[in-house]
Amino acid sequence: MDFRLSDEQIEWQQYCRRFAREVIRPAAAKHDREQSTPWEVLREARRWKLHGMEYLEKVASDPGGLFGVIYAEELHWGCAGIALAISASSLAAAGIASSGTPEQIAQWVPECYGVGDEIKLGAYAVTEAGAGSDVKSLRTTARLDGDEWVLNGTKIFISNGGIADVNVVVATVDPELGHRGQATFIVPKGTPGLSAGKKEDKLGIRASHTGEVVLEDCRIPVEYLLGGMDKLNAKLERARSGQSTGRASNALATFEITRPFVGASALGIAQAAYEWTLEHLEQREEDGEPLMEQQRIQQTLADVATEIEAARLLVWRAAWMGRNGVPMTGGQGSMSKLKGGDVAMWVTTTLMDLVGPYAQSSECPLEKWFRDAKIYQIFEGTAQVQRLVISRMQRQEYAERRKAVAEAAAKATGEPVEAGA
């Protein structure tokens, strides 16, 4: 085992940090205040090859799997809202990559980013009122009418929702089958029946646009169904006949792979808050004594540093497992997201306590990092839901381990395996 970053990983980390410091940080306060989309930063990110197809190729080129999580942490160190504005299209691209045919992936993934100097956005629209964690209850419908699909429903709290060029929409084709009756569709900007609903006025990540996507008799060609008709029909048939589609476990496995990026994003906020507080406290005194000499301060800073390092190790391990095809049967991806989000929230509040009343002021950067941290316990699976996923995966893993031990013992002794072993 070698925990050191390679020369390429260090170079990439420094490159991403430089972009965050020189381009993101100077624009952060304005877009946070105005709650505006940072188009000029998106254009710069493209110029720096940190947005779009060149970025995707770069991330895929790291055999250790860390380029993506390093990128997420460093850009979020600059500003979480702007970093999400740069990277939210990747959610749509990931949705296309996991469900689409090779032809659909080749056509639509570039459309989520734009090519050349053109900047385009993608949105991945799943959540509805009453159906966020509870995905099987989606009410948006997709009905086949001749050679078109007709979509109806409203998606809420969608990153880039209402401003995206490509909407990747999950809808139900057969409500009786729950999540097994759902399918994913491409709905391009300008499609009649597609409109932008309310834009959310948010506590944090304010540079990232969040809004509703409204679908009213929205007609799309049949080939905009991701994966194609044959695959959908076969899936529905298996579900109706009571056979397992394997889809739930596939979706779980996909989430395990994408969650470390969210954990890394949260860590960027925690790391930014920690670095700023160290510098701030170095310059402060109490009764003539430097604050950093006080043991109570040292105790807290040690806990902060340790929590951040622990979360980062979980994130890096899960990213490495994802890249190298090591199954995350113990919920290692979910663990990294859960820990990253909880650490970001705990670190920002703890550091605010150390800094005192100034931390409440909007002049103090901790105030923004505190606001930005909360969402990492909510989206991409809430902290509570992560715990359920981890708990279920752990139970299953331990049951399989017990079975394997019992089988090995039975083989050695020639005794039959006990029921329930």
Subset of 117-136 contacting ligand FAD (CB under 6 A): 124-127, 132-134
Q: Which stretch binds ligand FAD (CB under 6 A): 154-162, 190-198, 341-349, 412-420?
A: 154-162
For residue 222, the Cα-to-chain-centroid distance in whole angstroms is: 29
Nearest to 277 by CA among 295, 304, 299: 304
Nearest to 143 by CA among 131, 135, 152: 152
Q: Pattern of binders to ligand FAD over 48-87, x per CB under 6 A?
A: ----------------------------------------
Count of C-beta atoms within a 10 Å radius of residue 107: 14
Please give the single-letter amino acid code of residue 30.
K
Are 367 and 360 spatial neighbours (Cβ–Cβ below 8 Å)?
yes
CB of 65 or CB of 181, closer to ligand FAD: 181
CB of 236 or CB of 383, closer to ligand FAD: 383
Subset of 192-221 contacting ligand FAD (CB under 6 A): 202, 205, 210
Nearest to 368 by CA among 23, 73, 28: 28
Q: Which stretch binds ligand FAD (CB under 6 A): 25-33, 96-104, 151-159, 355-363?
A: 151-159
Q: Pattern of binders to ligand FAD over 354-393, x per CB under 6 A?
A: ---------------------x--xx--x-xx--x-----
Q: In whole angstroms, how close is the CB of 380 to ligand FAD at the nearest point? A: 6
Q: In whole angstroms, how close is the CB of 23 to ligand FAD at the nearest point? A: 23
Of the chain, the end-to-end C-alpha distance in Å amounts to: 33
Are 315 and 336 spatial neighbours (Cβ–Cβ below 8 Å)?
yes
Nearest to 188 by CA among 152, 224, 160: 224
Distance CA 359, CA 364 (A): 5
CB of 208 or CB of 277, closer to ligand FAD: 208
Residue facing ligand FAD at closest CB distance: 132
Distance CA 26, CA 29 (A): 7
Q: Which of 380, 397, 400, 418 is catalytic?
A: 380
CB of 9 or CB of 382, closer to ligand FAD: 382
CB of 9 or CB of 141, closer to ligand FAD: 141
Work out whether strand 182-188 and strand 166-172 pair parallel, antiparallel, or are unpaired: antiparallel
Token pair 């331990």 is found at 398
157 contributes a contact to ligand FAD by CB under 6 A: yes
| Residue 67 vs residues 57, 58, 62, 260, 379: alpha-carbon distances, Å | 11, 8, 6, 12, 22
Are 41 and 85 spatial neighbours (Cβ–Cβ below 8 Å)?
yes
Are 76 and 375 spatial neighbours (Cβ–Cβ below 8 Å)?
no
Q: In whole angstroms, how close is the CB of 151 to ligand FAD at the nearest point? A: 15
CB of 378 or CB of 410, closer to ligand FAD: 378
Q: What is the largest CA-CA distance in the chain?
A: 80
Q: Pattern of binders to ligand FAD over 158-197, x per CB under 6 A?
A: xx--------------------------------------
Q: In whole angstroms, how close is the CB of 392 to ligand FAD at the nearest point? A: 11
Subset of 292-351 contacting ligand FAD (CB under 6 A): none
Count of residues that bind ligand FAD according to CB under 6 A: 21
CB of 65 or CB of 381, closer to ligand FAD: 381
Catalytic residue check, 57: no
- Those residues whose C-beta lies under 8 Å from the C-beta of residue 56, and which sit 6 or more positions away, are 90, 93, 109
Q: Catalogue the active-site residues.
A: 380
Q: Which residues bind ligand FAD (CB under 6 A)?
A: 91, 124-127, 132-134, 157-159, 202, 205, 210, 375, 378-379, 382, 384-385, 388
